[in-house]
């Protein structure tokens, strides 16, 4: 992820953007610190979450699952789910939501 990051070639122009021009470096530093910390994400957590989903009984599997630090993704998923359901219904595809729930 970090090796492919491109920085502005015109550093003088980038410096002219002030705090906005510093966003990329601040984000990268935050991610590096997070991954290097003792509480950093563990890729094995994803495999563990998949195993739990597979082992869950039919009808009890989550449609969406956040693994690790969610940064608010749970709240976004909860807020968006009814909207997505209404979109499926409005397109005449409500059966897909029902089928997905039955297959879960």
Per-residue pLDDT at 79: 92
Per-residue pLDDT at 14: 84
Per-residue pLDDT at 101: 61
Q: Give the span between the Cα atoms of 33 and 25, in whole angstroms.
A: 12
Asked whether 43 and 35 are in contact (CB, 8 A), the reply is: no
* Count of the separate structural domains present in the chain: 2
- The H-assigned helical ranges of 22-62 are 23-36, 44-55
48 falls within a domain: no
Mean residue pLDDT of the chain comes to 85
Structure letter (DSSP) for residue 22: G
96 falls within a domain: yes
* Reported pTM: 0.59
Q: Give the span between the Cα atoms of 41 and 68, in whole angstroms.
A: 6
Q: Same structural domain for residues 65 and 36?
A: no
Tell whether the model's pLDDT for residue 97 goes beyond 60: yes
10 falls within a domain: yes
Mean pLDDT (whole number) for 35-62: 88
- Terminal alpha carbon distance of the chain: 33
28-37, 45-54, 62-71: range with highest mean pLDDT: 45-54
49 falls within a domain: no
Mean pLDDT (whole number) for 42-52: 93
Tell whether the model's pLDDT for residue 45 goes beyond 90: yes
Parent domain of 71? 58-103
């Amino acid at each position: 992820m970090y090796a492919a990051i491109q920085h502005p070639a015109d550093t003088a122009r980038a410096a002219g953007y002030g705090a906005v021009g510093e966003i990329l470096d601040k984000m990268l530093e935050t991610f590096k610190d997070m991954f290097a910390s003792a509480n950093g994400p563990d890729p094995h957590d994803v495999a563990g979450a998949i195993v739990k989903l597979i082992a869950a009984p039919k009808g009890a599997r989550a449609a969406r699952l956040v693994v690790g630090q969610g940064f608010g993704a749970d709240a976004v998923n909860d807020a968006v789910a009814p909207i997505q359901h209404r979109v499926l219904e409005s397109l005449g595809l409500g059966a897909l939501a029902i089928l997905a729930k039955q297959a879960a």
